[in-house]
């Protein structure tokens, strides 16, 4: 499987509007890498700015330049009132409602996205504004920004809070920022959604690896039939994701005793074991596609209107629509929920005598408390799986109603979809950790030496086994948190490398 790694670097991220990736963005935002933009970008920005200045000088109506915005598009803004209008536009849209705020890394990522978008010269903002944004990314403490206020047709309210913060700096005052169209360009973008989604998609890569690890542990603990992940089975179907997941699980189980003839307890296991590579393979394909879509969107201009330097005009459009992003994330949320559903089935069947051959709930002989811990773990997993299924409901077809006097009559709801995806991933880490706990407990109940397990499982089993209250259930309150941390991706490195 392809893997991201986030490696500290002293080299600045060079933004040119065409090559920013999710991995680059998350790395730059979290590691606080310096950013810069190219001289070619500077020239494009200057040419785009000339078009905007020409519209102001001519008095020709230009949406958001010499007119109001949204339902106020027919109101004229006087040449002398441009700066005051732009400042008030940011403040008017920056309403605070309290509640959750964005992590500082995501605010920083949103600024990086702005510079990358502006570097194409299609927004018509000034070169001093882009330089100011770059300087703030490289040196400023990020502001507190609300996570509310977007329906998926530009992240207007949180981006307005960023715009108001930027325009209130002494540097902006000295440079005469904002000029015509600059507030609109700062707020009419999906930068918050893109920043949040990029970080969540990188987390999803780690969670998929954890899901593959949990399948390998369950097969080992259940003494499952490994025919289901064999190369022969993969060749019977043209499913790239299934083949990759099967290969990853086989890699984790290399040199396991389970490969020996006679080790599998059944000729055919329950579907939650047999179909894991198919389901997680479908998830893998959707995840790759979602990252591809996000990488493309990071290098696209959503600012409306865009500048046409060839015809010296601006053109209205709907590029801020987020339907494409929402479709990608909606599908992923359902795929992860399905993956977690079968993880719940596997951890349940490990404790069910008729399926596993082990005592119900792994109960100790003559102990009334033996199975209580597993009743508890099963309830935790079931509760989290239920939540994941609720959060997996599609966002795209939710009604937005009529906004801005009916001008804004549709929206993509991308940030809502991303927010629910993040909740699913938080639950997923816990659910999959519980499945691995149950599997390691079952491995101990079967008296399987660590040396007989797949090589990719031995280290985890050795670390986790001493943390389990095997035979001492109820003596102390058990916490899975240390185990969740052990199973967390140890590298947190996201430069793109291959396994």
pLDDT at 1 over 50: no
Q: What is the pLDDT of residue 79?
A: 76
For residue range 284-329, what is the model confidence (pLDDT) as tens digits? 999 999 999 999 999 999 999 999 999 999 999 999 999 999 999 9
- What residue has token string 């890498």? 33
pLDDT band of 250, cuts 50, 70, 90? very high
> 69, 153, 131: which is closest to 411 by C-alpha?
153
Q: CA separation (Å) from 22 to 198, 260, 293, 457?
A: 5, 42, 10, 30
Of all residues in the chain, what percent carry a pLDDT higher than 70?
A: 93
Distance between CA atoms of residues 377 and 430, nearest Å: 11
pLDDT band of 74, cuts 50, 70, 90? low
Q: What is the pLDDT of residue 411?
A: 85
CB 197 within 8 A of CB 203: no
Q: What is the pLDDT of residue 364?
A: 78
Of all residues in the chain, what percent carry a pLDDT higher than 90?
A: 78
pLDDT at 205 over 60: yes
Mean pLDDT of 126-144: 97
What are the structure tokens assigned to 319, written together?
């590029």
**What residues contact residue 186 under an 8 Å CB cut-off, 6+ apart?**
90, 114, 125, 159, 160, 162, 163, 166, 178
Mean pLDDT of 115-136: 98
pTM score of the predicted model: 0.93
What average pLDDT does the structure give for the chain?
A: 91
Q: What is the DSSP string of 442-484?
A: HHHHTT--GGGS-HHHHHHHHHHGGGS-TT-TTSS----HHHH
Mean pLDDT of 198-207: 97
What are the structure tokens assigned to 434, written together?
């519980």
Q: What is the pLDDT of residue 369?
A: 66
- What residue has token string 């309403």? 95
pLDDT at 122 over 60: yes
Give whichever of 59-68, 96-105, 119-128, 365-374 has the largest mean pLDDT: 119-128
Q: What is the pLDDT of residue 491?
A: 39
pLDDT at 490 over 50: no
Question: For the chain, what's the residue count?
Answer: 499
CB 277 within 8 A of CB 245: yes
Q: CATH topology for 2-196? A: Fumarase C; Chain B, domain 1 (1.10.275)
Domain residue limits, the chain: 2-196, 200-309+321-493
Distance between CA atoms of residues 59 and 76, nearest Å: 10
Q: What is the pLDDT of residue 24?
A: 96
Q: CATH topology for 200-309+321-493? A: Fumarase C; Chain A, domain 2 (1.20.200)
For residue range 11-65, what is the model confidence (pLDDT) as tens digits? 889 999 999 999 999 999 999 999 999 999 999 999 999 999 999 998 888 888 8
Mean pLDDT of 167-173: 96
Q: What is the pLDDT of residue 4?
A: 45
Q: Name the E strands within 29-181.
A: 35-37
pLDDT at 498 over 50: no
């Amino acid at each position: 499987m392809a893997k991201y790694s986030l490696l500290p670097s002293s080299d600045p991220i060079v933004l040119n509007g065409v090559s920013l990736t999710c991995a680059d963005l998350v790395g730059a935002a979290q590691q606080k890498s310096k950013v810069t933009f190219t001289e070619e970008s500077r020239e494009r920005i200057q040419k785009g700015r000339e078009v905007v200045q020409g519209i102001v000088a001519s008095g020709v109506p230009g949406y958001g330049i010499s007119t109001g915005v949204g339902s106020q598009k027919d109101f004229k803004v006087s040449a002398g009132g441009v700066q005051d209008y732009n400042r008030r536009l940011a403040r008017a849209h920056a309403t605070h409602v309290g509640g959750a705020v964005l992590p500082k890394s995501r605010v920083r990522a949103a600024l990086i996205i702005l510079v990358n978008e502006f570097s194409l010269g299609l927004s018509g903002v000034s070169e001093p504004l882009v330089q100011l944004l770059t300087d703030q990314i490289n040196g400023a403490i990020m502001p507190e920004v609300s996570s509310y206020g977007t329906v998926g047709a530009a992240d207007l309210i949180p981006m307005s809070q960023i715009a108001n913060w930027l325009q209130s700096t002494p540097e902006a005052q000295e440079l005469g920022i904002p000029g015509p169209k600059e507030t609109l360009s700062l707020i009419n973008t999906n930068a918050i959604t893109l920043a949040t989604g990029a970080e969540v998609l990188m987390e999803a890569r780690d969670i998929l690896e954890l899901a593959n690890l949990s399948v390998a542990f369950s097969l080992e603990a259940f003494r499952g039939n490994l025919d289901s992940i064999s190369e022969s089975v993969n060749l019977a179907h043209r499913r790239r994701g299934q083949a990759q997941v099967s290969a990853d699980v086989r890699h984790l189980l290399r040199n396991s005793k389970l490969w020996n003839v006679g080790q599998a307890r059944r000729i055919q296991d329950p579907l939650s074991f047999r179909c894991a590579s198919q389901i997680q393979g479908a998830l893998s394909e959707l995840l790759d596609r979602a990252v591809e879509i996000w990488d493309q969107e990071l290098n696209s201009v959503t600012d409306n209107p865009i500048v046409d330097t060839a015809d010296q005009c601006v053109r209205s459009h709907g590029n801020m629509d987020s339907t494409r992003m929402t479709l990608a994330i909606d599908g992923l949320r359902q795929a992860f929920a399905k993956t977690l559903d079968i993880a719940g089935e596997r951890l349940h069947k490990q404790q069910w005598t008729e399926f596993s051959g082990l005592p119900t709930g792994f109960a100790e002989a003559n102990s009334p408390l033996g199975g209580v811990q597993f009743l508890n773990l099963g309830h935790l997993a079931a509760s989290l799986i239920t939540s994941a299924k609720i959060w997996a409901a599609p966002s795209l077809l939710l009604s937005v109603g009529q906004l801005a006097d009916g001008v804004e009559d549709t929206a993509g709801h991308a940030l809502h979809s991303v927010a629910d995806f993040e909740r699913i991933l938080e639950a997923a880490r816990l659910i999959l950790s519980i499945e691995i706990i149950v599997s390691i407990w079952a491995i101990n109940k079967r008296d399987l030496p660590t040396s007989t397990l797949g090589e990719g499982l031995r280290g985890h089993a050795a670390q986790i086994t001493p943390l389990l209250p095997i035979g001492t259930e109820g003596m102390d309150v058990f916490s899975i948190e240390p185990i969740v941390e052990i199973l967390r991706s140890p590298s947190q490195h996201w430069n793109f490398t291959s396994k």
